[in-house]
Amino acid sequence: MTLPVVLVTHQPAEPIRDAFLGVFAGAAELHFLPELSEDSRRDALRSARAVLTYHPIRDLGIDALAQLENCGLMQCLTAGIDYLPFGDLPDHIAVAYNAGAYAKPMAEHVGAMALSAAKRLAGEHRLMKQGEFNQFVPTKKVAGMTCGILGYGETGREVARLMRALGMNIQAVNRSGMTDEQVDFIGTLYDVDRVLAASDVVVITLALTKTTDRLIRAAQLGAMKPDAILINVARGEIVDEDDLYAHLVDNPEFTACLEAWWIEPVRHGRFETAHPFLDLPNVIASPHNSAMTDGSLITAAERGAENVLRFLKGETPRFIAGDDVRMV
C-alpha cells in the first residue's frame, strides 16, 4: 500500500527530524524539501497530502505553493499564524496552527514575570546600584491576588494552574465563556473590562485576530488598577503601543511585563519600538523567548506532526484557522 506523502519545508535539527520520523513511522512517507533534487521536489509538491512548516511563503515560495495540488492540510509549527498572507495560500488547503505547543514554558515565564514585578526585583536592583536600600518598603503579597487571563486556551490554562498554586484567584475570558477548569469567573471578550478592573495581574495569551487587534487601548488600561501588572506573552499588537507607553509614564505604580513586541525580528526582520519602553523603570522586558526552553521545539514538532497524522487517518485536525485569524 502506498503511504501518503508529508512534506517538511525546512531542514530541521536532528532531534526534531527524529521526532517527525517517530510520529509518522509506518503511517506516511516523509520528505524534507531542502534534501530533494529538482525533479524529486516537483513530485513531492504534487503528491504531498500535508505540509509541515514554520513559514510556507518563505520556505516554498508562491510558485511552489501552486503545485500543492493534492495537499489538504498545511500544519504550521508556530503557535501563532498572524504573519501568514492567507491571500497567497491555495484555497483548497486548510491551515492549522500549533496552539498550546509551548504552553508549559510560557506559563513558567509568566510566573517569573509576575513574581519579579510583584516583588519589584528589577526596580530594586536598579535602586541598589544607585545606593538605595529599601529594606522596609513592602512588596506585594501574591497569595490572595486576582489574576485575569485573556485567552483561556492551553497556555492560559497552564498559567492559571501555576497562579492558583501561588494562591491567586482566577478570572478569565475565552471564546465560549465556558470552561471545566477551576475559575472564579469565566466570560467572553465582552467581559474584558470586568476582568481588567478586578485583576491585580492581567496575562494576555490571546491569538492576534481581527477582533483582538488593539483590544487593549487607553480606556481598558484606565479601567485597570493603578498598580496592576500587565503581562503580554501573545502579540504586541493586542495592546495599543502609544496608549501603553502613555499609561506607563502617567502611572509609575503600573508595571508592564513585555515578552511580545510590535516589531520583532522573526516577523518583521528587526526589533523596533515607537517609544523608549526599555528606559522606563516600570517595564520588565524579555525578547519573546518564553517558549525557548530545553526540548520545547521537539514537543512542538511532535504535536504538529500528531495533528497531521490525525488528518491522514481521516479524523478532524485540531486548530484549523478560521476567517477570524486571517489578518492579511
Active site residues: 235, 264, 288
User: Are β-strands 201-204 and 48-53 bridged in parallel, bridged antiparallel, or unpaired?
Assistant: unpaired
Q: For the packed helices 103-118 and 121-129, what is the interaxial angle rounded to 10 degrees?
A: 50
- The set of cell numbers assigned to 128 is 541598589
Helix (H) or strand (E) holding 6: strand 5-8
Query: Residue 19: in which H helix or E strand, if any?
Result: helix 14-24
Q: How far apart are CA 210 and CA 20, in angstroms?
A: 33
| Burial call 4-31: b when 16+ CB within 10 Å, e when fewer | bbbbbbbebeeebeebbeebbeeebebb
CB 94 within 8 A of CB 74: yes
One-letter amino acid for residue 62 of the chain? I
Residue 29's DSSP bridge partners are 5
- Taking each helix axis from N to C end, the angle separating 154-165 and 103-118, rounded to the nearest 10 degrees, works out to 40
* Cα gap 213→120, rounded to integer Å: 30
Which residues partner with 176 through β-bridges?
Answer: none
Taken as a whole, the chain contains a residue count of 328
Give the Cα separation of 316 and 32 in Å (integer).
25
SS3 sequence, 148-192? EEECCCHHHHHHHHHHHHCCCEEEEECCCCCCCCCCCEEECHHHH
